[in-house]
Amino acid sequence: MDGMTLKTTALAAATLASITTDTRALKPGRIALGAASLDLSYSGIVPIADRDRVLEISNLFTSHQERGNNAANSLMQDVCEQADQANKLLLLMPEAFDQGGPTTAQLIDWYTRRFGFASLQSTPKVILIRLPRTAAQQWAAAHGHE
C-alpha cells in the first residue's frame, strides 16, 4: 500500500469508529426509483463489528432506453440523503458492465464528482467510500455553500 492509501484507510477506520447508526431507515435490499435500481447490502470486506454502519451499493442499473433521463442520478441522490440521515457510510466498487455504458473511469468520476465519494483503494480493485454528511454540511450543500 502506498502512503495515500494508508492515510485514507486510517481515516476511514477512525470515521467508522465514530459513527453511530440511526436504525430508522436505509436497510439492505433492492431499491428502485423510476427506471433505475440498485442493491444495498452489508459488505463482506467490512469487519463484522462495523457492518451495521456501512452499506455497499452494487448493481446500479438503468435500461438502455431509459439512460439519460436522470433516473440513476435521482436514485443515487436519494440513497445518499437517506445514508446521511441514518448516519451510514456508503461503499461501492465501480466497474463498467456493458458496451455502450459508462467506462469504469467515467463511473469513478460520476460517483466522486456528483455524490462525494472518495477513493479508499485503487488496486487491485477500485473501492470508493462516502462518509455521511452532518446536518450542517447538508444545509450548506442545499444552499450552495459547499
Per-residue pLDDT tens over the stretch 44-75 = 999 999 888 999 999 999 887 878 888 999 99
Mean pLDDT of the chain: 83
Strands (E), 7-137: 29-33, 36-41, 54-62, 89-92, 118-121, 127-130
Q: Give one word for 70, left, alpha or beta, with left for phi > 0 and alpha for psi -120 to 50.
A: left
Note if the pTM is more than 0.85.
no
The letter for the amino acid at 117 is F
Whether the per-residue pLDDT at 22 is higher than 80: the answer is: no
In this prediction, residue 118 carries a pLDDT of 95
C-alpha cell at 112: 466522486
In this prediction, residue 65 carries a pLDDT of 81
* Residue 141: its H or E element: helix 135-142
Q: Is 3-19+28-140 a CATH 1.10.10.10 domain? A: no
Whether the per-residue pLDDT at 131 is higher than 60: the answer is: yes
